[in-house]
Amino acid sequence: MNRKKAVAILVLTAVLAGCDSREVRSYQDGFAPVANGQLYYQVGGYGDAVVLIHGNAGDHRHWDNQFEYFMSRYRVIRYDVRGYGKSSVPVLGSPYSDSSDLAELLDYLHVDGAHIVGWSMGSGVAFDFATAFPERTESLVSVGPWINGYSSKAVEDLFVQMGAVADAVAQGGAVAGSNAFADLILGESIFEESADELMRNIGSEYSWWAFANPSQTIALEPSAASQLSDLVIPVLVITSEYDLPVCREVGDLIDTTAPNSRQVILQRTGHLMHIERPGAFNAELLAFLGESR
């Protein structure tokens, strides 16, 4: 091979490599139609589908430290749950289901099944989806664990705090609600100032619809908590040393009840573990997803 031809091949290889890198890091976004509304979504990458579901008082940006990272290995989907971010707010008198919304989003994106990852409130959506659509759930990851239908003194205490946040929203609007949520709910569970600032900023842009209106969500019956022992898919619980007490409690419940579950407790962080310690968190999630393929 002559020198000019060798150089040309090297240049072409470099260009193609650059294109691959750009493709991995690019994503598409849009709005998927659902019953009486639409969901904003972002999707990028190739391979098995991984869905990231955000927590309360926020939107898809809760997963900024995971979205592009996992796009190099998977087809990653993150979206705004109905009533949050850019998605439609619920319509009074038009009940809906978060799990059915997710199923319709996957239909729109032509995804038959996916690994479902939910943080905090998003964990509740993930368990409802896995319970209602087990054939479409490859595995489930519960981060800052929550499951709908579970009741305890710790859950009751949390709902009292949520009521105080709703009062703050009624009196002072979005910024007051965001500050109350960070102070009353997250409180001592936040360790990094940058994570605290992120949550307050995202919360200040939230509509707080769910805190100002009666719920329009259709509860899964029987509840996901009552059917946990029947959930045979692989389940990973990721909690933390200083997670909210109720989440540690729910994490133990899931780990001891779901037949194919294991629990990881990240050290030196709290409820915002995937934001404060993305390196450790991503490593645990990556290992689990690899095992669950």
What's the confidence (pLDDT) of residue 257? 98
Torsion, Cα of 255, 65, 105, 230 (10° steps):
-10
**Element housing 211 (H / E):** helix 209-212
What's the confidence (pLDDT) of residue 292? 86
Instruction: Give the 3-state secondary structure of residue 135.
Output: helix
What's the confidence (pLDDT) of residue 293? 81
> How confident is the prediction along the chain (293 residues), in pLDDT tens digits per residue?
444 443 333 333 333 333 443 344 489 999 999 999 999 999 999 999 999 999 999 999 999 999 999 999 999 999 999 999 999 999 999 999 999 999 999 999 999 999 999 999 999 999 999 999 999 999 999 999 999 999 999 999 999 999 999 999 999 999 999 999 999 999 999 999 999 999 999 999 999 999 999 999 999 999 999 999 999 999 999 999 999 999 999 999 999 999 999 999 999 999 999 999 999 999 999 999 999 88
What's the confidence (pLDDT) of residue 21? 37
What's the confidence (pLDDT) of residue 162? 98
What would the pLDDT profile of 198-237 be if each residue is shown by its tens digit? 999 999 999 999 999 999 999 999 999 999 999 999 999 9
Q: Is the peptide bond before 222 cis (omega within 30 degrees of 0)?
A: yes
Going from N- to C-terminal start, the domains of the chain cover: 28-291
Which class is domain 28-291? alpha beta
Left (φ > 0), alpha (ψ -120 to 50) or beta: where does 105 sit? alpha
CA atoms lying within 13 Å on the CB side of residue 217 = 19
Question: Look-up: residue for tokens 């639409």?
Answer: 38
For residue 274, give the nearest of 126, 118, 74, 130 by alpha carbon: 118
Q: Considering the entire predicted model, what is its pTM?
A: 0.91
